[in-house]
Amino acid sequence: MLIADLKNCEEFIAGDHTILRELLHPDKADLRIRHSLAHAIVKPGETSKQHSLKTSEVYYILEGEGVMHIGNESSPVHAEQVVYIPPNVQQCIHNSGTGDLKFLCIVDPAWRKEDEIVS
């Protein structure tokens, strides 16, 4: 049985400048899953760097509010919403609120550094 506790996951700054903690990845603990799951934070007034992944990605917004940019489209987002991001499309998210924008990132197949292009 694997139970991941957010506070025990190492925090790091991702290539897109979000604060990340990777909760699940198939390369860790011999997990038999295809996807990866990370917890992300964007501070108030900040925007993640434009980037694209070779794989699809889903954001589940936990707290806060922001503006999601995918390709040529932009839309406000807030807690309890899900955003689908198709493969190979430029994306970034802006925190337009006064508190941290917190969300889960689900990447399938699992995130790999070589699959991400940061602008």
Q: Walk me through the domains of the chain, giving residue ranges and CATH numbers.
A: 34-118 (2.60.120.10)
**Bridge partners, 68 (sequence order):** 75, 93
Q: What is the pLDDT along the chain (119 residues), one digit of tens a residue?
A: 889 999 999 999 999 999 999 999 998 777 889 999 999 999 999 999 999 999 999 999 999 999 999 999 999 999 999 999 999 999 999 999 999 999 999 999 998 888 899 98
SS3 state at 115: helix
Q: What does pTM read for this prediction?
A: 0.94
Q: For residues 1 and 74, what is the distance between their CA atoms, to the nearest angstrom?
A: 40
The whole-number pLDDT of residue 111 equals 87
Task: Note the Cα 91 to chain centre separation in Å.
Answer: 11
